[in-house]
Amino acid sequence: MPALDGERILLGVGGGIAAYKSADLVRRLVAAGASVRVVMTAGAERFITATTFQALSGHPVRTTLWDPAAEAAMGHIELARWASRVLLAPASADLIARIAHGLADDLLATLCLATEAPILLAPAMNRVMWANPATQANIALLRGRGAEVLGPGVGDQACGEVGPGRMLEPGEIVTALVDRVAGDPRLTSLRGLRLLVNAGPTFEDLDPVRFLGNRSSGRMGFAIAEQAARAGAQVTLVAGPVHLPTPVGVSRIDVRSAAQMRDAVATQVAGQDVFIAAAAVADYTPAQVSGEKIKKTGSENLQLVLTRTVDILAEVAARPDRPFVVGFAAETCDLEHYACDKLTRKKLDMIAANRVGVTGQGFDCETNALSVFWCDGRAELPAASKAEVARGLLALIAERRGQGR
């Protein structure tokens, strides 16, 4: 049986040179068994014709909300109800902005408002447009509402520049759809399990103005929580102070300090099947917090007295009713040595280590790479999106847990 048999894909084609790839995308979707109907924006019509999509999909192509014949039966509502998934490819910066802000100024935007089907976007734009805070805010808004963003890819762009912003290749998009329809077979054993994940930094206050913190963005932990929830796990996420949308299907608890994170984890850990400690928790906290802003004095130096925080990971691993415990280690050197020492010393089931200070890995970026260790083995998860790395880590957890640690 074809991988997408029975799927009804409403393909929205936005304006941009990447629209030429959408013809191959339709061909591949149909070959995979999907029924495809295409809706084009006015901008898309400047790059490719509706006739091309009609020939490849076998269905008439819609281009306007003001089609008397189609709208006699409320055609935009019929299309919105027909779709099992809405795929926007390419999704230009303009299309993303209009969808994010709920505009209904053309047929495609109206369909996105009227549908209850999952929406997937394959962004395509210049690298600077992709990095623009307005675009990133729109992407975050859409993700927070449950839309899924596929890509973008990194490479040569039509403008002659190189960087992130390319639409994923049609084959990559079809593979992503197949994964979402069939589910990742490596993660099937996670369905119904209870996972507790912590993520992000902690902030340790010095006074009402200043704090001690770190550069963790929380993206890796959030990706783990999101992918586990998609696999059918019941996920609780204890999040430090980050500005990230809550993944769909995840229960979120926000904290600020190491003490608050420790209390939240201690409250939630009973009955959990897996605990994944992806947070960058402060090792030290000020012994005293000033009630007023600390002022400059005549001295050239300021001395702070710090005390150790509770080791959340070790505390969970020491419980008699402990879940499967996975730690994280961010290292600048001797990665394997320090990771394995932490694995043994804290009696963990698994540890995932990454090297910080390397381009494309670690803090505040969209990609990562992990070296994963357990008592009698290891695995390498090469550089990829944090979502893909999260799936790889969860697959290892599912496998090791199934082997009884």
Amino acid letter at 251? Answer: S
DSSP string, 323-365: -EEEEEEEESS-HHHHHHHHHHHTT-SEEEEEETTSTTSSTTS
**61-150-231-343 Cα dihedral, nearest 10 degrees:** 170
Query: Phi-psi region for residue 27, left (φ > 0), alpha (ψ -120 to 50) or beta?
Result: alpha
Residue 179 near residue 187, CB atoms below 8 Å: no
**Residue 141 burial by CB count (10 A; 0-12/13-18/19+): exposed, middle or buried?**
middle
* Omega before 185 within 30 of 0, i.e. cis: no
| Burial (CB count <10 Å: 0-12, 13-18, 19+), residue 338 | middle
Decide: 43 and 15 in contact? Cβ < 8 Å. Answer: yes
E strands, 152-278, are 153-156, 162-166, 194-199, 204-205, 211-212, 234-239, 250-254, 274-277
**Which amino acid is it at 147?**
A
d(CA 303, CA 292): 17
Q: Which of 112, 159, 333, 375 is catalytic?
A: 159
Residue 281: Cβ-neighbour burial (10 angstroms; 0-12, 13-18, 19+): buried
Residue with tokens 């109907």: 37
For 172, phi then psi, to 5°, come to -65, -40
Q: Work out the angle at residue 34's Cα, subtended by the Cα atoms of residues 30 and 37, and round it to the nearest 5 degrees.
A: 80
Confirm whether 365 is a catalytic residue: no
Instruction: Write out the catalytic residue numbers.
Output: 159
